[in-house]
């Protein structure tokens, strides 16, 4: 069967399918190039996944999603602001420059989202960055500060990814949200590198997530990484494919794909930090 003819036939009935599937058409084309690596039996499952995702991404409550994002940006902006105001916490030099830049980015995100939402923007809540004492030394111990910052950024990346489908009906807002998403990902990678440079429990930290909770912080942040151990995408177990020279390990498979988080999951994660 010709999969692209099927899509063209559906387009004659559903005029919006082109937007739903673009760039899924190119993704399908790449998928078909796996030919010798993916069994034909897996094709119907993978194809079904593509169509299910296309039709599941109906436009959502745009203002509600933006207020959700604004709450997360408030949290991050306030966290870095308080960190920079804590005398002696952040070493001078590149570390201070990096944290200052990240804070400025978060403040710019807050300003943008408040402008985009308008009169309905939620107010900034009060925060407890110790999470009820779990991170009691967050503003007195630099390593704790970096660890919490990393968890916030890793969570933020997954949060934006989880809400992208609800913004499909407004391409301008979707584009802006994805622009923020990529910057949050850069923050997360940079903070992971900063922690690695510190050594200790974070000496093996990579710029990307490996498996589930790879932070070295412990089970207290497991919820932020739940699902990151997934190795199956489009109905295909990535570890069953062959890489350039060998089979793909579970760690490599999880590093190559990021997973979204639902709004409910994210709110449960940040709830201990909000008074």
Q: Which two tokens stand for residue 186?
A: 């850069």
User: pTM here?
Assistant: 0.77
pLDDT confidence of 43, banded at 50, 70, 90?
A: very low
Mean pLDDT estimate for the chain? 84
- For residue 45, what pLDDT is reported? 46
Q: What percent of the chain has pLDDT over 90?
A: 70
- The predicted-structure confidence for 26-37, as pLDDT tens digits, reads as follows 444 444 444 444
Q: Which two tokens stand for residue 25?
A: 């058409």
Give mean pLDDT, residues 83-112: 98
- For residue 244, what pLDDT is reported? 65
- The predicted-structure confidence for 196-234, as pLDDT tens digits, reads as follows 999 888 889 999 999 999 998 989 999 999 999 999 999
- The predicted-structure confidence for 100-135, as pLDDT tens digits, reads as follows 999 999 999 999 999 999 999 999 999 999 999 999
> Measured between alpha carbons, how far is residue 7 from residues 17, 20, 24, 192, 247 in Å?
8, 11, 11, 42, 33
> Measured between alpha carbons, how far is residue 179 from residues 79, 112, 131, 173, 212 in Å?
21, 12, 29, 10, 25
Domain covering 62-228+258-273 assigned CATH 3.40.50 in the classification: no
- For residue 90, what pLDDT is reported? 98
Domain ranges across the chain? 1-27+41-52, 62-228+258-273
Give mean pLDDT, residues 26-52: 45
């Amino acid at each position: 069967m010709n999969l692209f003819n099927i899509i063209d036939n559906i387009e004659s009935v559903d005029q919006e399918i082109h937007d739903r599937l673009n760039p899924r058409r190119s993704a399908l084309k790449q998928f078909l190039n796996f030919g010798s690596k993916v069994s034909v039996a897996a094709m119907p499952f993978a194809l079904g996944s593509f169509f299910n995702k296309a039709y599941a991404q109906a436009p959502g409550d745009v203002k509600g999603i933006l207020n959700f994002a604004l709450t997360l940006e408030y949290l991050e902006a306030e966290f870095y602001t308080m960190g920079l105001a804590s005398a002696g916490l952040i070493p001078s030099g590149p570390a201070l420059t990096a944290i200052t830049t990240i804070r400025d980015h978060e403040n710019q995100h807050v300003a943008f989202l408040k402008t985009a939402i308008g009169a309905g923007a939620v107010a900034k809540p009060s925060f407890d960055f110790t999470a009820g004492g779990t991170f009691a030394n967050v503003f007195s111990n630099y390593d704790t500060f970096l660890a919490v910052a990393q968890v916030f950024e890793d969570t933020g990346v997954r949060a934006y990814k989880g809400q992208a489908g609800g913004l499909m009906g407004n391409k301008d807002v979707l584009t802006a949200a994805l622009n923020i998403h990529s910057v949050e990902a850069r923050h997360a990678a940079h903070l992971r590198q900063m922690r690695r440079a510190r050594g200790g429990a974070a000496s093996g930290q990579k710029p990307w997530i490996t498996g589930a909770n790879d932070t070295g912080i412990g089970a207290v942040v497991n919820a932020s990484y739940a699902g990151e151990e997934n190795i199956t995408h489009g109905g295909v177990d990535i570890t069953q494919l062959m890489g350039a020279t060998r089979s793909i390990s579970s760690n490599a498979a999880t590093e190559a794909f990021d997973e979204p988080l639902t709004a409910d999951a994210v709110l449960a994660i940040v709830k201990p930090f909000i008074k």
